Structures are given as C-alpha cells and as structure tokens.
C-alpha cells in the first residue's frame, strides 16, 4: 500500500531535476497530514526530497521536483 502523500498538483510529465537552489521553483511531494498542519499553523514542512519550506504558493504553477517524483515512483503500490 502506498503512503498518503499530497503532491499539491496533478501528476504531470514535466518533472525537473534542477541545480542546487532551484527547489524554490518546483512543486514537491509531502505527506498529506503534515501538509494540512503546515498550512493551518504556518510552519515549515519537509518534502520527500528533503527540501524544507513554508507552503505559501500555488504548486500548480511549477514543475514537479524530479527527486520527489523518483521517490514516489519507487514506492511499492
């Protein structure tokens, strides 16, 4: 069974593996329960790839993080 995650956007083919520092320009996968708390409490959250940030932008405007996508694809179903 796959863990519950919230990618914040529909699954798209436009994954991107950027350079160091490009994580601000990407949509990341996170655990759903943590995402809801982060939004409600305004606290930082950690993506599957390790990126930490405080959610405050519409993730549909950004390509999906390639590292997060690889992690999701590697999880057993």
| 10-residue averages of pLDDT along the chain (77 residues) | 48 44 77 86 90 85 92 87
Query: Which residue range is the domain that position 29 belongs to?
Result: 5-74
For residue 7, the model assigns a pLDDT of: 52
Beta strands at 30-31 and 5-6: parallel, antiparallel or unpaired = antiparallel
Q: What is the pTM of this model?
A: 0.64
- For residue 75, give the DSSP letter: S
Residue 15's DSSP bridge partners are 64
Which of these, 41, 44, 49, lies nearest to 5 by C-alpha position?
A: 49
Number of structural domains (the chain) is 1
């Amino acid at each position: 069974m796959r863990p519950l995650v919230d990618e914040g956007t529909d699954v798209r083919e436009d994954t991107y593996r950027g350079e160091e520092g490009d994580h601000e320009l990407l949509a990341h996968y996170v655990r759903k329960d943590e995402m809801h708390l982060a939004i409600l409490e305004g606290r930082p959250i950690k993506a599957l790839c390790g990126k930490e940030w405080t959610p405050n932008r519409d993730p549909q405007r950004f390509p999906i993080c390639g590292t997060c996508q690889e992690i999701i694809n590697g999880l057993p179903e």
